[in-house]
Amino acid sequence: MLHAQFDPTARRTLAVTAVDAKTRKDLSWQQLADAAGLSVAFVTAALLGQHALPEAAAKAVAELLDLDEEAVRLLQTVPTRGSVPGGIPTDPTIYRFHEMLQVYGTTLKALIHEQFGDGIISAINFKLDVRKVADPEGGERAVITLDGKYLPTRPF
């Protein structure tokens, strides 16, 4: 039976433990995702407390990280999502995403609604990809793809 968390404390504590184990064992997020048989974005989000893992994936990741059976069980529970408590984030990387949405949020909304109509982009039926590419002007660029299913608003 699938269980849900109503308090994020246990999953946040597990996230700290998982990241510590990942660091001590010098593992990458990709190695953990490969063991789980799922995408690197999904497994990373799950280990950071934002998704539930299927049983086999939870066991595989827990084995790599030397996590106990309680952790395996907890990794399978539906979390209370939302990883940035409070107001404006202070971490520079997370803040830049906040800034991007402050600048481009209304533009994204206008373009989505013009092309699709009234509705939302799902964060549940969703895919995320992060790639590093060369910048023709020197250095590197981050290409972030947010791929969510469009869900129209339905009158009732």
96 in catalytic set: yes
Q: What are the start-end ranges of the E strands in 1-156?
A: 119-134, 140-152
Cα Rg of the chain (Å, integer): 18
Instruction: Out of 99, 137, 140, 141, pick the active-site residue.
Output: 99
Nearest alpha carbon to residue 44 among 33, 57, 54: 33
Instruction: Out of 122, 131, 137, 140, pick the active-site residue.
Output: 122
The pair of structure tokens assigned to 114 is 């013009």
CA distance 92 to 99: 10
Nearest alpha carbon to residue 82 among 119, 123, 30: 123
Instruction: Out of 24, 73, 96, 141, pick the active-site residue.
Output: 96
* Pair 101, 121: CB distance under 8 Å: no
99 in catalytic set: yes
DSSP 3-state assignment of 80? Answer: coil
28 in catalytic set: no
Catalytic residues: 96, 99, 122
